Copies of this chain bind each other. A is one copy, B any other.
């Protein structure tokens, strides 16, 4: 049985903190729990009954096994309650109470104590600091919300209780029901990933919506979302694009908050559709709850307002779907004109979804137009936008009654349709090509040196990458001038001689790089020059072939380590363009070659790979294989915190890493 199961479908429930006090959380919860059809215990040491329901003095007095406990007592009383619940064999508890880690160090200590006690008894926790859980199919409302959720097909999981109540008010107004409604609060134990894992296999749940401020266990979150998203869409909102918002979230949740780069990469990898605004979140919610997803990307428009047809066309195209030329039924159109337009569009068979727009003009009867929309519903995904207030009111009411998504402005509806189409394409593609790769990680390759440094030399970095199977330019390490000359001869001219040093990090700035050496004599001079210039830290030179950068595209393969998420790989424009144009994208390793190709497409340099100016196209498939290999290597190297391959030269013939830089963890014991 999944850990979430008793939270959503308990047979018996105990509520610790029952009270009749007007306006209290405890009373609100009792009122909500009275509808529960299973066995209900109420606990209050001072009362014999609460709101007509008998009340026990202590948890220990319960005379049967209980599936789920709900706690709404002062934070400092929670440890004892958990101990008693544990003793009575209760395995699941929702802690509504606040006063834990969001209050600072003392609260964190209390939370840690509660968790340790619970773990001891094998007791799982939702919360603390949450609104509670509603499970409409089990008549369970274990929250202190005023409203309750209807039964339906959407699961909602939220880290903010306040957003829960707004969502509920909104959903009730729209007549949208829920399969599960979970306020996860501080996520001290059970978190998003656990809820999603359960809901993935819940037949009542057809879509999952998440309000997140922190991700929790990112690796598991991704793994579970990827599996789940193949079966049902997951939509999430996660603020924190700006630093100020991340600060606010950290202070609000008492948790560390991911960088937005990491969040983007996590959602991308987890096949999660990200809502950019609260409104978009509500809009995606009402669309997914009310209407089927389109089978293709061609959206038809019928409008009595030409201008709005134009606006809508823009919104569709800018969000990646295809707008059919709007059918303008003109300002004096009645519902008959709308119907006729639909009949004609339908017959073209070139339409996957329909958006119907009405502005209040002299002949416009919105209820009658809404009736036409209702007739279309079921034949094709359809949404409406009646643009007005008083004059459109009755029409909008009719639409709502018949569960037709309505948007107050048409371009807003168009954007939602287009976004959903894009996401469904992505899910479908994932279905066909998804390779999780998670298990077949490359074997960790031992670091190519012993010591206490954190920065590898260029030579060591390249050696490590070469062992990982990546195409590194031949680079040789010469201790003497004679060796350098011999190596240069072996490699061929023109060549490059660079300082080798484990202590000097900026060899270029020190004059430690000499380019375009044409013969043995020049190599000798270069060796001596560098040796002469660098008194301290000279440990020979490396010799490598000279490449003309104009003969290829300069790429970046890179990696950073996010404190919350772990490694992120980067791909983009290398060379000096990197700093200026920041044409780089991030992803969570490992990636399959297909995923690497998709990642490439998000960069501007991708165009150059298809052939650019005098350069022919490069073998992108091969490049994607290299990037996939690189991502596997990264995923298997816990000790690398930063890595830059810049540039990797790509041309029609080959790929070659010309320079690389690897930084290791500072706390690493390097004498492996």
Q: A169-B390, A278-B411, A362-B144 are in contact. Are A245 and B311 (CB under 8 A)?
A: yes
Number of interface residues of A (CB under 8 A): 92
**How many subunits of this chain does the assembly comprise?**
2
B245 x A389 contact (CB < 8 A): no
Is A119 at the interface (CB under 8 A from chain B)? Answer: no
Task: List A residues 257-300 near B (Cβ within 8 Å).
Answer: 277-279, 282
Is the beta-carbon distance between A242 and B314 smaller than 8 angstroms? yes
**A637: Cβ under 8 A from any B Cβ:** no
A577 contacts the other chain (Cβ, under 8 Å)?
yes
Which of A241, A282, A311 is most buried by chain B, counting CB atoms within 10 A of its CB?
Answer: A311
- Chain B residue with minimal CB distance to A605? B580
Q: Is the CB of A317 within 8 A of B170?
A: no
A55 CB-CB contact with B under 8 Å: no
Cα-based distance from A415 to B260 in the complex (angstroms): 19
In the complex, what's the smallest C-beta–C-beta distance from A522 to chain B, in angstroms? 18
Q: Given A23-B363, A247-B325, A323-B244, A306 and B169 touching (CB < 8 A)?
A: no
Q: Which residues of B contact A411 (CB under 8 A)?
A: 277-279
The answer to whether A435 has its CB under 8 Å from any CB of chain B is: no
The answer on a CB contact under 8 Å between B248 and A309 is: yes
Q: Given A213-B307, A307-B160, A362-B23, are A391 and B278 also a contact pair (CB < 8 Å)?
A: no
Question: Interface 1/0s, chain A 401-438, versus B by CB < 8 A?
Answer: 00000001111100000000000000000000000000
Q: Does any Cβ of B come within 8 Å of A159's Cβ?
A: yes
Q: Could you tell me the distance between the alpha carbons of A165 and B366 in the complex, rounded to whole angstroms?
A: 14
Instruction: Annotate A150-190 by CB proximity to B: 1 below 8 A, 0 otherwise.
Output: 00000000111111011001101110000000000000000
Q: In the complex the two chains form, is B239's CB within 8 Å of A313's CB?
A: yes
Q: Is A318 an interface residue (CB 8 A)?
A: yes
A146 to B211, CA, bound (A): 43
A361–B213 contact, CB under 8 A?
no
> Which stretch in A444-452, A490-498, A607-615 binds the other chain?
A607-615
A576 at interface, CB cutoff 8 A:
yes
A387 to B147, CA, bound (A): 14
Report yes or no: B279 in contact with A160, Cβ–Cβ below 8 A: no
CB closest chain-B residue, reference A243: B317
Which chain B residue has the least Cβ–Cβ distance from A249? B310
CB closest chain-B residue, reference A607 = B580
The yes or no answer to A47 lying at the interface (CB within 8 A) is no
Interface residues in A307-340 by Cβ distance below 8 A to B read: 307-311, 313-318, 322-323, 325-326, 328, 331-332
Q: Which residues of B contact A247 (CB under 8 A)?
A: 325
B240, B251, B305, B612: the one contacting A314 at CB < 8 Å is: B240
Taking a contact as CB atoms closer than 8 A, the residue among B28, B165, B173, B303 that contacts A359 in the complex is B165
Give the docked Cα–Cα distance between A384 and B75 (Å).
33
Encode A605-634 as 1/0 by CB contact (under 8 A) with B.
Answer: 101100011000000000000000000000
* Smallest CB separation, A606 vs chain B (Å): 10
A25 at the interface (CB under 8 A from B): yes
Q: Confirm or deny: A392 has a beta carbon within 8 angstroms of a beta carbon on chain B.
A: yes
Is A107 part of the contact surface with B, judged by Cβ < 8 Å?
no
Residue on B nearest A250 in the bound complex, by CB: B310
Report A29 CB to chain B, min CB distance, Å.
10
CB proximity of A485 to chain B, nearest CB, Å: 28
Q: Which residues of B contact A511 (CB under 8 A)?
A: none
Q: How far does the alpha carbon of A331 sit from the alpha carbon of B164 in the complex, in Å?
A: 11
What residues of chain B lie closer than 8 Å to A577, measured between beta carbons?
577, 580-581
A310–B166 touching, CB < 8 Å: no
Q: How far is the CA of A303 from the CA of B161 in the complex (A)?
A: 13
CA distance A544 to B246 in the complex (A): 55
A608 — which chain B residues lie within 8 A by C-beta? 580
| Chain B residue with the shortest CB-CB distance to A160 | B307
Q: Which B residues are in CB contact (< 8 Å) with A638?
A: none
**Chain B residues with CB under 8 A of A313:** 239, 242, 244-245, 248
Partner pick for A576 among B165, B314, B613, CB 8 A cutoff: B613
Q: Which of B158, B318, B322, B361 contacts A165 (CB 8 A)?
A: B361
Question: Which residues from B are CB-within-8-Å of A161?
Answer: 331, 361
How far does the Cβ of A180 sit from chain B's closest Cβ, in whole Å?
A: 19
Docked complex Cα distance between A513 and B612 (Å): 20
Q: Given A277-B311, A318-B242, A326-B248, A391 and B169 touching (CB < 8 A)?
A: yes
- Contact call A282/B409, Cβ cutoff below 8 A: yes
| Beta-carbon nearest neighbor of A392 in chain B | B169
- Most chain B CB atoms below 10 A, which of A145, A166, A328, A576: A166
Interface flag for A252 (CB, 8 Å): yes
Q: Are B412 and A277 in contact (CB under 8 A)?
A: yes
- Known A162-B307, A362-B145; contact A170-B240, beta-carbon cutoff 8 A: no
List 5 extra interface pairs beyond A277-B409, A278-B411, A577-B577, CB under 8 A. A158-B307, A162-B307, A166-B308, A248-B306, A581-B581
Listed from nearest, the 9 A-B pairs whose CB atoms lie closest are A162-B305, A160-B307, A173-B389, A242-B317, A169-B388, A252-B306, A278-B409, A245-B314, A162-B359
Q: 12 interchain pairs (CB within 8 A)?
A: A146-B362, A163-B307, A165-B388, A166-B359, A174-B389, A245-B310, A248-B306, A252-B309, A253-B306, A278-B410, A577-B581, A581-B604
